[in-house]
Structure 1
Amino acid sequence: MNAAKAHADKTNLGFVTLVSIVAAVGGLLFGYDTSVISGAIGFMQNLFHLDNFMKGWAVSCLTVGAVIGAAFAGTLSDRYGRKKMLISAGVLFSIGSVGSALSGTISTFVWVRIVGGIGIGISSTLVPLYIAEIAPAAHRGRLVSLNQLAVVIGISAIYFVNRAVAGAGGQTWDINTGWRWMFGLGIVPGVIFILLLLNVPESPRWLVKQGKNERALNVLERINGSTQAKAELKEIHESIENESVSIATLFRQGLRIALIVGVVLGILQQVTGINAIMYYAPSIFQQTGAGTDAQLTETIIVGVVNLVFTIISLWLIDRLGRKLILLIGTAVMTVSLLIVGYEFYSGHTSSSLILVFILVFVAAFAISMGPVVWLIMSEIFPTRIRGRATAIASVALWAADYLVSQLFPMLLAGIGPAHTFWAFGAMSIIAFVFSLFVVPETKGRSLEEIERGWGGKPGGKPGLK
């Protein structure tokens, strides 16, 4: 029996869950800001006379900021702490929301969206990392996945917000004013996030790295009780003492597999097409002949399915394990994308099967690639370099997101929806194969156990059966 299970009766699950929920509000900002553009871009296209390239740039510029934010999040959080950088992310997000709403030109809009994107890149990297560093091993999967649930709640909420705002006035009002409200309302969750973070503790593992052992012990005692806290503090010390701080650590035998897993999973999460659907859902449903109201309604259905199945994933992730969920999810995603592509290829654009299998794809992603990728990225790297290593994987993820969101309108216009969805299906096949042969199982292991598992073993898989 491992230590986490032996002391499960001493775990203050209420406290650690509350702290995790507060941190996960950063995920809500992530979901809100990445998806608000789906309801606004059509009106902005009319106002600013955007061609397909500029439409893609207006959507994808946020991810440029996210790449920048993710690139610096690790180093800055290793220096200044996870908590301070999460507060900074909330400030940047709020600036981006208000600035987007007030933009008079597309150039101004792009610049302020990049600023907001920097905040999103920081929060998307650090929220799962922070939760992983405070969560007991037995509950880490579902607690880290609260971040993905918050992302999906943000996505779902903005679909309803977009629908309500668009219905508040006529077409002219929507083009000139309505889309501004869609962005500006983001200030509400931004300020809430900042205020809530003022009352959460710093990561105990970061505190140990800074030599603040007493504060770290206090946090660990609130989570696991005195006896387990002392044992965990000792384990963290041993992990840090035995680990060099150089980024080159990630390229040594064993740990380079961890780096490959984090980076490749991050890329595959995006190139399977989820954010093409989330960002451009109304445009996709327009291809099926749906009117404006129907497009927004079907987009809301996508958001609801995403939310429901993300909740289901919280129940499954610590029961079935990360690897099995990835395999099941990517298999279903592949089949769904191939069928959607076939329906478009056959000219059955009004077929209800397109909506049905887009929903099946979203459900499969919500259970698997959505929460599990962020979870694994937060688990597999050594404590002393976790911030920077997670940042590298996050940069790869956001760079892939940028390419998909920038190219998707041009792909739809160029090669058509059938071949576009088939391309996403091919990426899902690769995700299945990679999960089968490379991704390790981390269920039930402490972060220090996972770290020890990489070192010195050929292939570096931590106890993979």
Structure 2
Amino acid sequence: MPETLLPKNYYVFVAVLTAQFGIFLSGVYYSWSSPVLVKLASLDDNPLGRIITPSEQVWILTIGVFGMWMGACLTGDLSRRIGRRPTLITMTLPLLVSFVMLAFAKHIWLMYLARALGGITNGGMFTLLPIYSGEVADPKNRGILGAALNLFLNVGLLFSFCLGPYTTYKMFNLALTFCALLYTILILLIIPESPYYLVEKDVDRAEKILKRLRGQDDVKQELKQIQQYTELEAGDKGTFSEIIKSKTIRKSLIIGIGLSCFQQSTGISVIMGFGQMIFEEVDGFLSSDLSLIVLGFSQVLFGIVAPIFTNRFGRKSLLISSYSGIAISLICFGVYFIMKQLDVSVYGISWLPLTSLIVYMFAFGIGAGAVTFIVVGEIFPSSVKGIGTSVANILASITGMVLANGYTIFKESIGIGFTFWILGCFGIIASIFSAFCVVETKGKTLKEIQEILDKAERRNIQPIEL
């Protein structure tokens, strides 16, 4: 193949997209429960030999949160000490072990343990991959590559939706084991270390990798910018006290936590975790497993479209539009179940729940899903990237766990419809937060983003002239 057929910087796409296969595994982990809970709710293909209770369903879905906390905390420190690439390998191993355990588990406590182990990988991936993508990509392609995180997440979700209902429980988990093993091999063969990490350890190697990533022989200017960026923060130890002391970093943390928690508060974990069971309560349209597959395909399609939006429009406008669309779709979704709850005929609108969630997935994909990963990977200075993204991910996972537990409680007390109206209200609040709190980062270098945050903070603390 002639060399001119490939862009000079093709390797940055290969490296970042290969790394983001880890988010595919996170998507698989998230949606694993949707087909499996249906199997465990009957005696057919049930490795436990008994039907699990509603509380056990919730624990299977949410216990991974405790592992996510551990993974998020470990990843930030490990990535600073041993590098981004070795940390990716380390964080993949718990999920590999988890799927093997799940394939052969005969007791509920083993499933709990395996899900908790898998959560370590999940927390690690959501913490490290936005950082890695933000550091390896350049400002011109960081938006499109960052948006690809959401695409990989969607493909992982779809993979479980398509494979889980049509294979045995054991074969499903063995197939996922192979995926985790394949990712470990790809890291070893393809993924380079981040130049931002190497510039402090081995500047010659950092320059060599940067040349390959950019497809250029002269990267002196960018290398100098990276050195200035890291030297500026060389005296910072990257501790939580540093975040508390710095108003600029606190603003970054507020944005990171806000976007990460709002991403969960609009119900994505509820829809992915209980999706098939929710669709089983829809009358007269598609079957629950087919509805979930249609929803999964729409996610992937919108995940492909999302990079076009993130490359063309600003981060703030996408987030505002995204959460507004999420709120409208969740309210429409709730209308069906409220009518059903009030014994109003819903035969003529049986298409509404699936259609509403397809719109939800489009709105989520172009903003809440894709842009959140990008912004969280951009807004923290290098010294606190690990701890900042870890805190944001831990609080987001707590939000997801609370909602997953709260969903079952609210479903029984007020019904599915009103529960999703509550989630729609979170979408409205998230849209307001995006309008007034998020700074625009599109097309900016990581150094420029910190300067924007610093200037914004200084404007906020200027005295008012009377």
The answer (yes or no) to whether the contact 1:96–1:117 under 8 Å persists in 2 is no
Match of 2:181 in 1: 191
Query: Deviation of residue 183 (structure 1)?
Result: 2.4
Match of 2:204 in 1: 214
**Distance verdict in 2 for CA 1:57–1:14, change over 3 Å:** same
Is 2:34 aligned against 1:38?
A: yes
Is 2:161 aligned against 1:143?
A: no
**Distance verdict in 2 for CA 1:259–1:23, change over 3 Å:** same
Is 2:412 aligned against 1:421?
A: no
Match of 1:4 in 2: none
Look up the SS of the partner of 1:137 in the other structure.
Answer: coil
Match of 2:226 in 1: 236
The answer (yes or no) to whether the contact 1:453–1:460 under 8 Å persists in 2 is no
What is the distance in 2 between the residues matched to 1:443 and 1:449? Answer: 11
Q: Which moved more, 1:447-456 or 1:138-147?
A: 447-456
**Distance verdict in 2 for CA 1:48–1:141, change over 3 Å:** farther
Unaligned runs of 5+ in 1: 1-9, 166-177
Aligned runs of 1:365-384 on 2, under 5 Å?
365-384=364-383
What is the distance in 2 between the residues matched to 1:229 and 1:26? Answer: 29
Q: Which moved more, 1:110-119 or 1:232-241?
A: 232-241
The answer (yes or no) to whether the contact 2:330–2:357 under 8 Å persists in 1 is yes
Amino acid aligned to 1:254? T
Is 2:316 aligned against 1:323?
A: yes
Query: Deviation of residue 138 (structure 1)?
Result: 0.7
Is 2:354 aligned against 1:342?
A: no
Unaligned runs of 5+ in 2: 1-5, 43-48, 461-466
Amino acid aligned to 1:273? G
What is the distance in 2 between the residues matched to 1:130 and 1:278? Answer: 26
What is the distance in 1 between the residues matched to 2:50 and 2:395? Answer: 31
Query: Deviation of residue 149 (structure 1)?
Result: 1.0
What is the distance in 2 between the residues matched to 1:57 and 1:204? Answer: 40
Match of 2:392 in 1: 393
Amino acid aligned to 1:35? S
What is the distance in 1 between the residues matched to 2:7 and 2:174? Answer: 40
Match of 1:438 in 2: 437
What is the distance in 2 between the residues matched to 1:405 and 1:179? Answer: 23
What is the distance in 2 between the residues matched to 1:234 and 1:423? Answer: 49
The answer (yes or no) to whether the contact 2:9–2:212 under 8 Å persists in 1 is no
What is the distance in 1 between the residues matched to 2:279 and 2:346? Answer: 9
Aligned runs of 1:55-66 on 2, under 5 Å?
55-66=57-68
Taking every aligned residue pair, what percent have the same amino acid on both sides?
28
Which of 237, 249, 258 is residue 245 of structure 1 equivalent to? 237
What is the distance in 1 between the residues matched to 2:15 and 2:116? Answer: 29
Is 2:250 aligned against 1:260?
A: no
What is the distance in 2 between the residues matched to 1:460 and 1:367? Answer: 31
Match of 2:193 in 1: 202
Which of 282, 287, 296 is residue 288 of structure 1 equivalent to? 282
Is 2:291 aligned against 1:298?
A: yes
Query: Deviation of residue 226 (structure 1)?
Result: 5.4
Match of 2:162 in 1: 160
Which of 68, 72, 75 is residue 73 of structure 1 equivalent to? 75
Instruction: Figure out how many residues of one structure are paired with residues of the other and give that number.
Output: 438
Which of 69, 87, 90 is residue 89 of structure 2 equivalent to? 87
Deviations 1:277-296 (A, max 9, x none): 111111111222369x8100
**Distance verdict in 2 for CA 1:89–1:20, change over 3 Å:** same
Query: Deviation of residue 225 (structure 1)?
Result: 5.2
Match of 1:103 in 2: 105
The answer (yes or no) to whether the contact 2:41–2:51 under 8 Å persists in 1 is yes
Query: Deviation of residue 441 (structure 1)?
Result: 0.9
What is the distance in 1 between the residues matched to 2:402 and 2:63? Answer: 10
RMSD across aligned positions (CA): 2.0
What is the distance in 2 between the residues matched to 1:283 and 1:409? Answer: 12
Deviations 1:361-403 (A, max 9, x none): 1221112101111111000000122122111111112221222
Q: 4+ runs of 1 displaced by more than 4 Å?
A: 225-228
What is the distance in 2 between the residues matched to 1:357 and 1:387? Answer: 36
What is the distance in 1 between the residues matched to 2:56 and 2:215? Answer: 55
What is the distance in 2 between the residues matched to 1:290 and 1:185? Answer: 33
The answer (yes or no) to whether the contact 2:270–2:404 under 8 Å persists in 1 is yes
Look up the SS of the partner of 1:138 in the other structure.
Answer: coil
What is the distance in 2 between the residues matched to 1:145 and 1:179? Answer: 32
Amino acid aligned to 1:279? G
**Distance verdict in 2 for CA 1:214–1:422, change over 3 Å:** same
